[in-house]
A and B are shown apart, each in its own frame.
Chain A
Amino acid sequence: MSQFILEMRDICKSFPGVKALDQVSFRVQAGEVHALVGENGAGKSTLMKVLNGVLQANSGTILIDGKPSVFKGTKEAQAHGISLIYQEFNLVNTLSVAENIYLGFLQTGKSGLIYWKTVRKDASDLIGRLGFDFSVREKVQNLSVAEKQLVEIAKALSVNARIIAMDEPTSALTTKEIEKLFEIIRGLKAQGITVIYISHKLDEVFAICDTVTVLRDGHIIDTKNVRDTNHPEIISKMVGRPVEMSYPRRAVAIRDDETVLEARGVACAGFVKDVSFSLKKGEILGIAGLVGSGRTELVEAIFGARSLHAGEILIHGKKVRIRSTADGKGCSMGLVTEDRKETGLALHYSVSDNIVITNLKKISKNLFVDRKLSQEQVGRYVRELGIKTPSARQTVMNLSGGNQQKVVLAKWLFSDVEILIMDEPTRGIDVGAKYEIYLLMNKLVEQGKSIIMISSELPEVLGMSDRVIVINAGRKKGELRGDGMTPEAVMSLAIK
Chain B
Amino acid sequence: MFGEQGIQYLKANLTKVLRSQGVLLGLVLIIIVASIVEPTFMTVSNILNILRQASAIGIICLGVTFVMMTGGMDLSVGAIVSLCSMVAVVMMNTYGSLPGSTGIVLLAILTVLAIGFAIGVINGLIITAFNGRLGETFIITYGMQIVVASLALLYTGGQFVPGIFAMGLYQQLSMGFVPIICFLSLAAIMHVVLAYTGFGKQISFIGANMDCARMSGIKVSRLRVITYGICGACAGFASIIVTSRVYSASPLQGTGYELEAIAAVVVGGTSQSGGTGGIVNTILGVLVLSVLGNALNVIGVDANAQLLFRGAIIIIAVGLDMWNKMAKQRESTK
Residues of chain B within 8 A of A214, CB atoms compared: none
Question: Whole-angstrom distance from the CB of B135 to the nearest CB of chain A?
Answer: 15
Residue in A15, A16, A357 whose beta carbon sits within 8 Å of that of B216 in the complex: A357
CA distance A345 to B275 in the complex (A): 13
A259 within 8 A of B: no
What is the total of A-B residue contacts with beta carbons within 8 Å? 83
A358 within 8 A of B: yes
Residue in A337, A345, A347, A398 whose beta carbon sits within 8 Å of that of B333 in the complex: A398
Take A360-B198, A369-B197 as given contacts and tell me if A344 and B334 are in contact as well, using a CB distance cutoff of 8 Å: no
Residues of A in contact, count (CB < 8 Å):
37
B20 within 8 A of A: no
Please determine whether B218 and A395 come into contact, CB atoms closer than 8 angstroms. no
Question: Whole-angstrom distance from the CB of A257 to the nearest CB of chain B?
Answer: 29
Residue in A330, A337, A367 whose beta carbon sits within 8 Å of that of B198 in the complex: A367
| Nearest-CB residue, chain B, relative to A328 | B217
Residues of chain A within 8 A of B218, CB atoms compared: 325-326, 357
Task: Sort chain B's interface into a size bin.
Answer: 20 to 34
A246 within 8 A of B: no
Among the 9-residue stretches B52-60, B150-158, B171-179, B206-214, the one with 4 or more Cβ atoms under 8 Å from chain A is B206-214
Bits for A391-434, please: 1 = Cβ < 8 Å to B, else 0.
00011001000000000000100010000000000000000000
Bits for B253-282, please: 1 = Cβ < 8 Å to A, else 0.
000000000000000000000011000000
| Nearest-CB residue, chain B, relative to A395 | B332
Residue in A326, A329, A346, A360 whose beta carbon sits within 8 Å of that of B208 in the complex: A346
Please determine whether A398 and B215 come into contact, CB atoms closer than 8 angstroms. no
Take A329-B217, A345-B212, A346-B212 as given contacts and tell me if A17 and B334 are in contact as well, using a CB distance cutoff of 8 Å: yes
Main secondary structure of the interface of B (DSSP, over half): helix
Residues of chain A within 8 A of B275, CB atoms compared: 346, 348-349
Question: Whole-angstrom distance from the CB of A132 to the nearest CB of chain B?
Answer: 32
Take A343-B212, A344-B212 as given contacts and tell me if A360 and B202 are in contact as well, using a CB distance cutoff of 8 Å: yes
| Nearest-CB residue, chain A, relative to B334 | A17
| Nearest-CB residue, chain A, relative to B328 | A395
Question: Whole-angstrom distance from the CB of A422 to the nearest CB of chain B?
Answer: 13
Question: Whole-angstrom distance from the CB of A19 to the nearest CB of chain B?
Answer: 12
Please determine whether B209 and A347 come into contact, CB atoms closer than 8 angstroms. yes
Question: Whole-angstrom distance from the CB of B14 to the nearest CB of chain A?
Answer: 21
B11 within 8 A of A: no
A361 within 8 A of B: yes
Take A16-B330, A368-B197 as given contacts and tell me if A358 and B205 are in contact as well, using a CB distance cutoff of 8 Å: no
CA distance A360 to B204 in the complex (A): 13
Take A324-B219, A343-B215, A358-B217 as given contacts and tell me if A16 and B202 are in contact as well, using a CB distance cutoff of 8 Å: no
A256 within 8 A of B: no
Question: Whole-angstrom distance from the CB of A403 to the nearest CB of chain B?
Answer: 15
Residues of chain A within 8 A of B333, CB atoms compared: 15-18, 398
CA distance A375 to B212 in the complex (A): 22
Chosen A-B contacts, 10 in total, with CB atoms closer than 8 Å, are A16-B330, A305-B215, A326-B217, A329-B217, A346-B205, A346-B208, A347-B209, A357-B213, A358-B216, A368-B196
Q: Which positions in A face B, CB cutoff 8 Å?
A: 15-18, 305, 324-326, 328-330, 334-335, 337, 342-349, 353, 356-358, 360-361, 364, 367-369, 394-395, 398, 411, 415
Assuming A17-B333, A346-B209, A361-B198, what are 6 further A-B pairs, CB within 8 angstroms? Answer: A16-B330, A329-B216, A342-B211, A343-B215, A347-B209, A357-B216
Give me the 5 closest cross-chain CB pairs, A-B, nearest first. Answer: A329-B217, A360-B198, A17-B334, A346-B208, A346-B209
